[in-house]
Every structure is written in C-alpha cells, then in structure tokens.
Amino acid sequence: MPALILHVTGARPNFPKAAPVIAALRDHSVEQLLVHTGQHYDERMSEVFFRQLEIPEPDVNLGVGSGSHGAQTAAIMAGLEPLFAERRPDVVVVYGDVNSTVAAALVAAKMGIPVAHVEAGLRSFDMTMPEEINRLVTDRLSDVLLTTSVDAVAHLAREGVAPGSIHFVGNPMIDTLLRHRDKFDAAAARRDLGLEGDYLVATLHRPGNVDRPEDVAELVEAVHRVADQAQLVIPLHPRGRARLESAGFLDHPAIRVVEPLGYVEFLGLVRGSLAVITDSGGVQEETTVLGVPCLTLRPNTERPVTITDGTNRLVGRDTLPDAVAQVLATGPLQDWPVPPLWDGASGPRIARILAAASGVDR
C-alpha cells in the first residue's frame, strides 16, 4: 500500500505554494489527499485558484468559513481530527502561516503524525501579528521544515531545530508564478477594468492597518495623498472593507476599488503597474520576481530577502506618499536581484524530501 501524503490548504496564499508540490509528487510512489478547510470560501478567494493553477479538486472540503481566530482554528481542528484518525497519513503537509496551517499541525502532532511545513522559518519578530504566532507554533511542531530563504534557515537554527530537519528548497510559489507568467496579461487587465494611463496597485488588509480607527484614518489620508500622484487600483479584501469605506477611503476620484481577482488576473494587473503598495506577504515575493517596485506598508517583514534580493522596501503610513513619489520619478526597473533557489524547481525538491519522509524513495 503506498504511503499517504495529506496536504492541508485553506486560504488564498496556500494554493500557489501547494500546486507545484502536488504536481511534483505525482512522480513518486505515494498517494495524495488534498484537504481544503474552507477558511477562504469566496469563489474569487479560493475556488478560482484551483482552476487556474490546475490543482485537483479537493478530496475533502471542511467548509469552516470565517470567524474569530479561536473559533476558526477550533472548527478546523474538529474537522481534521476524525479525518486524520480515519486515514492515518504518513505525512501531513501544511503551507504558510494561516489558521488552517497551525490547526493542522496541532492535530497531527497530538496524533503522532509527522508534519512538514512548507515556508518554515520566516520571522517578523512581531508578536502582535497572528501569523507570527502561527509560524512559531507550526515550526515547533514540525518534523520536516522546508525553507524558502537562507535567513529562514538561520532563524530555525537559532531556535534549536535539528539541522537534519531543515531543508533549504527555495520558494514553490515562484514555481507557480514562473509556470504561468506568460498568462499575466497587463493589456487584458487594463481592458477588463477599463483602465487608461499609468496606475498603481494596492492590497491592504492587515490588522495593523485596518482594525483600529486611528490607523484607518492615517491610512486613508496616506492613500489619498498617493492617489493625488497616480490612479490607484485596489482589489479590496473583505477584511476591513467596511471600516475603510466608512472612513472615506473611496472618496477620491483617482481611487478605483475592484472585487478580489483571480490569480492570473491579479498578477496581470500587477505586472502592468508602476508599483504595488501592500501589507501582504506573498505580494512581496511575486513583485520581487516580476521586477515591480513594492512598498510594504508595515514596520517589519518576515521576508527580508525581498529587500536584499528583490524590489521591496518597508514604508510607514507617514512615509508612503514620498516613497511613491520616488518610485514614480525613478521609473521602471531595468535590473534587480532575485533570491537564491527562486528558480522554478522548488516543487520537485520538496517532493523528493516528502517522499523520503513518508517512507518511500529512501
């Protein structure tokens, strides 16, 4: 009977990371089971990714939906526990830093099932971020830690993780980006959204920007000052949307809010932009490879490699308008460094390690 590798996904950032791993494991003598927790349940936030990234339909969809951190994590754990007990996977693979990730790691670890964490070792050192807590807990419980950057390896080593458990494999999300790059059509994005002229793109949803009224007020002022310089297209995340709208976020003629986009459509929009303003983790990585200047609206990042080997820089709400002015004055980049092993071959590297961890290909 072949070994069983069970993948747990649940939110939009997971899917581009999982796609190349699932595809590469087809070359190994393992059975795969794909679980979608339903943490993101909107069509544009999850299902469209399965179609565009050619991921097989999930074998199991828990359909947990939204909720507080505690309620959502508990619902995912309650759904996964009987499934793990019934199927007894040889390895549970988790991705990134969302609630589905830490929930699956907790259930698997308590049941004595090995856990492999794709994107291990990233650290913002900001314990006010729920994602940082998820990263720390998941890595502590994981048996196989698959890292995207050299700094992540160093973080894990300092935390006492056994060297033999750490594997520097590169970034599987970049595998997905490079595979689909030819589909990122900036002209189609302009046409579909009715855009004329140059534009910036923004994605904003982190608690540090959209939860407290005083932060929202500062954000609205900063974004309006940006929109004074160039039109701004914002696929607005459901999280915090009502607060932003009530604070007058949309009250600027150069701001264009659109619904969340599919993977291909969003990166087509990004590819044609002058720059991206974001508080998302994955966008920092995607812009790094596409050569699009990225202004990360946060005091820290768990992806510092996108600053040292990429197009990213950290900005505050107070410095954002001036940073945009600098980008607009500089113009498009002609050359930029890309991090090591972000080469489109991370999926096969991960697959070999997972196959060995499951008991085959040793």
Among the listed residues 184, 178, 239, the one whose alpha carbon sits nearest the alpha carbon of residue 207: 239
Q: 324 with 277: CB under 8 angstroms?
A: yes
pLDDT, one tens digit per residue, over 290-300 is 999 999 999 99
Of all residues in the chain, the percent with pLDDT exceeding 70 is 97
pLDDT at 46 over 90: no
Q: Based on the fold, state whether residues 80 and 208 are members of the same structural domain.
A: no
Q: What is the mean pLDDT of residues 244-264?
A: 91
**143 and 38, same domain (yes or no):** yes
Share of the chain above pLDDT 90, in %: 82
The pLDDT tens digits of the residues spanning 142-172 come to 999 999 999 999 999 999 999 999 999 999 9
Q: How confident is the model over 208-219, as a mean pLDDT?
A: 91
The DSSP code sequence of 217-243 is: HHHHHHHHHHHTTSEEEEE--STTHHH
Judge contact between 107 and 81, C-beta under 8 A. yes
Is residue 362 predicted with pLDDT exceeding 50?
Answer: no
Instruction: Report the pLDDT averaged over residues 300-328.
Output: 97
In a domain, 337, yes or no: no
Q: Looking at 205, 224, 237, 252, which residue is catalytic?
A: 205
The predicted pLDDT at position 312 comes to: 97
Is 49's pLDDT higher than 80? Answer: no
Instruction: Answer yes or no: is 177 within a domain.
Output: no
| Co-location of 223 and 269 in the same domain | yes
State both tokens at 104: 């699956």
Same domain? For 201 and 96 the reply is no
* 207: helix, strand or coil: helix
The neighbour count for residue 191, using CB atoms within 10 Å, is 10
* Bridge partners for 297 per DSSP: 315
Q: Are residues 148 and 294 in the same domain?
A: no
Rounded mean pLDDT, 66-93: 95
Is residue 81 predicted with pLDDT exceeding 70?
yes
Q: Does 236 have pLDDT greater than 90?
A: no
> Is the residue at 178 inside a domain?
no
Q: Can you give the pLDDT at residue 256?
A: 94
Clarify whether residues 163 and 243 are in a common domain: no
Over residues 331-349, the mean pLDDT reads 95
Which residues, in sequence order, are bridge partners of residue 312? Answer: 294
Number of domains forming the structure of the chain: 2
Residues whose CB falls within 8 Å of the CB of residue 266, separated by 6 or more in sequence, listed in order: 235, 260
| Residue 336 placed within a domain | no
21 and 163 co-located in one domain: yes
- Check pLDDT > 70 for residue 40: no
Residues 284 and 351 grouped into a single domain: no
Averaged pLDDT score across all residues of the chain: 94
The whole-number pLDDT of residue 243 equals 86
Indicate whether 1 pLDDT > 90.
Answer: no
The answer, yes or no, to whether residue 268 has pLDDT greater than 60, is: yes
Taking the CA atoms of 301, 303, 307 and 310 in sequence, report the sign of the dihedral they define: negative
- What pLDDT does 177 receive? 98
Mean pLDDT of 208-212: 89
Q: What is the dihedral sign for C-alpha 303, 313, 236, 17?
A: negative
CATH code (residue 136): 3.40.50.2000
pLDDT score recorded for residue 43: 52
Residues 148 and 198 in one domain: no
Would residue 205 show up in a list of annotated catalytic residues for this protein?
Answer: yes
Average pLDDT over residues 11-18: 92
Do residue 95 and residue 187 come from a single domain?
no
Query: Which domain, by its residues, includes 285?
Result: 183-330
191 and 80 both lie in a single domain: no
